[in-house]
Amino acid sequence: MKRACILIVILPLLAACAKRGPTLPGQLKPGSAEYILNEGVFYLNQGQIDMAREKIQEALKKKPNSKAAHYSMGVVYTYLRDFPAAIKHFRIVISMDPEYWDAYNSLGLIYIETGELDLARQNLLKAATADKYRNPENAYVNLAMLEIKREAYDNALRYVDKGITQNRNFAPLHNLRGIILEKQGNLDEALYHYKKALNCLTEEDANILLNVARVHHLLGQKNKALDLLDQALGLAKDEFTTQRIRTLMREVEGKKEDTANDN
């Protein structure tokens, strides 16, 4: 698996974690650090990273000791793949609050990306096993990703199952189960879990649609694959995802129709 692909699975989790912290701008005084931070988190969840960084930096200038702002800035730098800067902000959060479990989870993700798997496991297990962590499923996703990087797929599935016991409707876990099953060649089961991931969401996700399209392509179902890729392209929020969709489109369009399977 290419290193960049890990971020495709996990970054929505980071944005969601950042989103949970602040309250809505309408509940806050315009111009306050909290209000500006919420504007930044809004841009972050829309994939407008430059605007997000600008707003979050502004919030930090107003309130340098804001844990939520430092965490959100760490998320921004993770998106930008500036991992040293991201690590700095996540460590600041932990120095202020050793029980800010999302920061451990996010550090674990970065260490997976940098190949420091022992550090990744250490941070992720802190989050996953913390009694007070409200979102252990996030850490189990990343633990599963760590095992995928090691090509230890049975261990990866074990962590996925642990996460599902915490949150049965957590789309990234079902998406990840689909990825593992696809790697093991179990395309029908992979397709089932990709679709289950979509059903857990309130709106369609470009990256999961891309996964569904890829399996239909592997099953020889060209038209289904292209229809899904059209849909995914319309939902893509960043250039990297857009290019992945277009690359698969070109691959699918070059494959002859398997009329026996395309139904």
**For residue 57, what pLDDT is reported?**
96
Cα 71 to Cα 73: distance, rounded to the nearest angstrom = 5
pLDDT at residue 144 greater than cutoff 80:
yes
Confidence of residue 19 (pLDDT cuts 50, 70, 90): very low
Higher pLDDT, 46 or 231: 231
Phi, psi of 108 (to 5 degrees): -60, -40
pLDDT tens column, 177-234: 999 999 999 999 999 999 999 999 998 999 999 999 999 999 999 999 999 999 999 9
> How far is Cα of residue 2 from the mean position of the Cα atoms in its chain?
15
Cα 158 to Cα 194: distance, rounded to the nearest angstrom = 18
How much is the mean pLDDT over the chain? 88
CB-count burial class (<10 Å; 0-12, 13-18, 19+) for 147: buried
